Structure 1
């Protein structure tokens, strides 16, 4: 796998939909609301660690103690997820630095009968000045170091009453920049094998009307449609259970309708088509 490429695992049906809805110059991917991703701890790990450190620091105090061990519950701590409105529940498009991973094939690509789309990382990073392309972190040590360095200021400025949580008027909100940076990228170590990169799209109040919804698993799943220049797509890797010989003809015909061409060897202007190198049969 090339370091300048990141991969989006998906199904053949989704790939057909992406290409069918594309134009000669652009294609569209769905960005999922952060609260509707597979890991149910999404967007909460950093807040949980912040709560733990605030309570721990408060317990070392006597005269200045704010009784956080009793007043800082999870409902109040959700304030630290949406204190800044442009960071309110961002939408995510997930990519992996690994384009041929059996766990990824089986989890996200129709049990190895799907594909991995390779995207040029540098073009993704330049897509929109409001978007961030960030590697996920599965080790919380750097975030915890940030907390240790700032916990006194955070504690002094945090106020909790019977109903809500807030900050003192003199609070320097720039202290929270690192908190908001880690909020959507800090993941449980059990997902480290994914080697995930995320395109993070802020969910601005002014853009709420552009949200769309998919009915799945008895819920309404909110998402945004994000447009990419077609040139961002540089590779298509076939899952272990697909046939290169059968797929190359049909994919060529589908992409030709959009003026694009495949190549089994990397050539300028063409999309590289490859087969997974993992020996696997879904039986």
Structure 2
């Protein structure tokens, strides 16, 4: 029985991946991979965070529960739930998938209730992410950095092949190795432009649910011997996926952020670390890491290490307009980057020309 259940798990996991990819990367949709257009993105951060990113050769991906504004995720989850309910209401009671869709809705409500609290098991069921903007010199973004708190906007081009590394192109054991970006392998980790229009996210959710419903209807006979188990597993996976799809949605009042997120959905318990942030001890993940094989006591095992070469694809650095002694700040940033192997021209490090001097 355990073997049969694992077969179901693998098949359903594969189908969920297909549905997620279809909903998120449908070529006819607006949602696209940012670096496929060689689009420069900007990561706003403090000087301290910038130092940590370059020193560790990683971005620190955060759990959505500990973002600066909790209401943004509550809004996104609530809106996703509304679209799920609307989809269910439009399905005929005689449709075979109606039972499954009601179960997905129930599982999603369970996810929603758990999100309002927090426990060790919960962080394993959510995507971790970090944020970028397509606007590298935004006054509302700079307003977060006041007094002597210097902010930076790191300009990044994830299509720059100079920062590509040798990685397997698929999850197959005998996969070919090619030079690719370590930041993109959907549906496990990918870039997603934040949507501030609910109708576009609604369309993606409908595509996802259409795929899951069609799969269920076409496979129900084969799943019949273990239908209760298969339905529960499929509904749980679909609900978790919808929770993660909600990461793509924000209230239109935040549209000035012009945000793109790097979202990681696949990770292990060993990948999660903790740090102190303000009044909390919060989970985070360093990303990306290189997976290597090592032999210990005659046994081969996989471990994850930081990449040896610089992989943060820096194109420019913009310093916040409030920075004091900007020329010395520029010089210190350039010296640090040069020391870490980044060959940035000094002209690529500038201070924002916005006349902003907060009290």
Task: State the TM-score, normalizing by the size of structure 2.
Answer: 0.57
Partner residue in 2 for 1:101: 138
Contact kept? 1:31, 1:91, Cα under 8 Å: yes
Structure 1 residues 1-283: aligned runs within 5 Å: 4-19=39-54, 21-22=55-56, 27-53=57-83, 55=85, 75-76=109-110, 78=112, 88-107=125-144, 109=145, 113-123=150-160, 126-128=181-183, 129=185, 130-146=188-204, 168=231, 179=242, 182-204=245-267, 207-227=268-288, 229-230=310-311, 232-242=313-323, 243-265=325-347, 272-283=348-359
In the alignment, the residues of structure 2 paired with residue 217 and residue 262 of structure 1 have an alpha-carbon distance, to the nearest angstrom, of 33
In the alignment, the residues of structure 2 paired with residue 185 and residue 100 of structure 1 have an alpha-carbon distance, to the nearest angstrom, of 23
**1:139 Cα deviation after fit:** 0.8
Farther-moved stretch of structure 1 (128-137 vs 255-264): 255-264
In the alignment, the residues of structure 1 paired with residue 341 and residue 207 of structure 2 have an alpha-carbon distance, to the nearest angstrom, of 54
In the alignment, the residues of structure 2 paired with residue 151 and residue 225 of structure 1 have an alpha-carbon distance, to the nearest angstrom, of 32
How many equivalent residue pairs? 254
Please give the secondary structure, in 1, of the residue aligned with 2:247.
Answer: coil
Superposed CA deviations along residues 115-165 of structure 1, whole A, max 9, x for unmatched, are: 1111113259932423201111111102224556787998998xxxxxxxx
In the alignment, the residues of structure 2 paired with residue 152 and residue 120 of structure 1 have an alpha-carbon distance, to the nearest angstrom, of 35
Higher helix proportion: 2
Question: Unaligned regions of 5+ residues in structure 1, if any?
Answer: 158-165, 266-271
Please give the secondary structure, in 2, of the residue aligned with 1:4.
Answer: coil
Question: Unaligned regions of 5+ residues in structure 2, if any?
Answer: 1-36, 116-121, 164-179, 217-228, 289-306
Farther-moved stretch of structure 1 (176-185 vs 234-243): 176-185
Please give the secondary structure, in 1, of the residue aligned with 2:248.
Answer: coil
In the alignment, the residues of structure 2 paired with residue 75 and residue 172 of structure 1 have an alpha-carbon distance, to the nearest angstrom, of 12
In the alignment, the residues of structure 2 paired with residue 237 and residue 150 of structure 1 have an alpha-carbon distance, to the nearest angstrom, of 39
In the alignment, the residues of structure 2 paired with residue 248 and residue 150 of structure 1 have an alpha-carbon distance, to the nearest angstrom, of 47
What CA RMSD, in Å, does the superposition of the two structures yield over aligned residues? 4.3
**1:93 Cα deviation after fit:** 1.3
Contact kept? 2:274, 2:284, Cα under 8 Å: yes
**1:281 Cα deviation after fit:** 0.9
**CA 1:134–1:62: 2 relative to 1, 3 Å:** closer
**1:170 Cα deviation after fit:** 11
**CA 1:200–1:58: 2 relative to 1, 3 Å:** closer
**1:238 Cα deviation after fit:** 0.8
Contact kept? 1:9, 1:116, Cα under 8 Å: yes
